[in-house]
Amino acid sequence: MRKMIFIVLAVLILILGAAAGFYFREESYEKAEIVFKTEDGEVKFLAEAADTAGKRMKGLSGRESLGEREGMIFIYSKPGRPGFWMKGMEFPIDIVWIKEEKVVGITENMMPESFWKGKIFYPPETADMVLEIKAGEVGKNNIKMGDKVKIVK
């Protein structure tokens, strides 16, 4: 009986270890240039593309920070209302919700501790892309609802 319990526990530990290794493994991210046409002119961000389910699930969790005009772009095959949370985040961010190359929503200064309050952030309408950038970048670069957005890969 003890031997059977030991075997079951060993198998469970192996499965959990493999799952953790899969989740935390380093994946390479393609870079994309995100160009906003604001009333002040063009603003460019260099973003990593979260274009797979695994990359979207991990997002920016576990990172220490983002540089100025850096971010992560989440690309979806069709518009929807994806929920974003701050699990594993170390720093605040701004989110720009995009649909059909136009800003349809902005969520500023999302704090890491909002995860522990059970907060999930949604776009005000459907979106086909979501850009996460360093908190304060939306205001600093005068990004507003209705601004046009292009991705250059």
- Burial pattern 3-19, b for ≥16 Cβ within 10 A else e, equals eeeeeeeeeeeeeeeee
Sequence ranges of the domains in the chain: 28-152
CA angle 28, 29, 33 (to 5 degrees): 155
**Residue-level pLDDT at 16:** 65
pLDDT in tens, 88-104: 888 999 999 999 999 99
Domain 28-152 top-level CATH class? mainly beta
**Residue-level pLDDT at 128:** 96
The DSSP secondary structure of the chain, one letter per residue, reads -HHHHHHHHHHHHHHHHHHHHHHHS-----EEEEEEEETTEEEEEEEEEE-SHHHHHHTTTT-----TTEEEEEEEEEEE---B--TT--S-EEEEEEETTEEEEEEEEE-GGGGGGT--B--SS-EEEEEEEETTHHHHTT--TT-EEEEE-
**Residue-level pLDDT at 140:** 97
- Alpha-carbon distance of 2 to 63, in angstroms, equals 42
Q: For the chain, what is the mean pLDDT?
A: 86
pLDDT in tens, 126-147: 999 999 999 999 999 999 999 9
| β-strand partners of 70 | 46
